[in-house]
With several copies, the nearest count.
Chain A
């Protein structure tokens, strides 16, 4: 299990492959890998968005992310997981968050990935501020639910 908060752009596929190379023990037990990648869009709530900055609460961020993973581990059978979240200045098309979950069975992998993502969105202390143009910016005030 790994949790990383990073302040520079990253390639999620490269990070997954790098992380996977460290997990040979249960390789033959992995039947399902579920991955979610959240990317910055260039349009949100009716406005063109040119950039974004993400603030966080160092320490509490890692603590709450660990809690999300622990809760998922209590609910489903997980072999491993990797979470990476960006902070700092971000431009459109860059990855904001990566969640990867490895499991023997697909139901566990799907459910745990989605659970961790929703828990992250509602409990982990990150805050987004959008840049609308050179002068204007606005705090994103709430996350929508990922379930309809």
Chain B
């Protein structure tokens, strides 16, 4: 199965790119997606995760076609 992963703001600079595609066989949690994609990188404290533009728990499962996003605490307004 295939999912798309996006990174924003300081996290984009931390991982060094803004997006990539992941292909894998078994079902993964959001947390596993991070470590699958960034095996050699620490997960910055307070990082937020969204699937299909909705906030999710790090233990929720990702399915084929999902769009996952990782980003730091938001600072708009």
Contacts and interface: CB of A to CB of B under 8 A. Distances in A.
- Per the CB under 8 Å rule, do A and B touch in the complex? yes
Contacts of B76: 54, 56, 85, 96-97, 120-121, 124-128, 143
B55 interface: yes
Contacts, number: 75
Contacts of A59: 53
Contact of A60 (B10, B69, B73, B77): B69
B1 to A, nearest CB: 22
Interface string B10-48: 100000000000000000000000000000000000000
Interface residues of A, number: 28
Interface in A119-140: 120-129, 139-140
Nearest to A138: B10
B50 interface: yes
A117 interface: yes
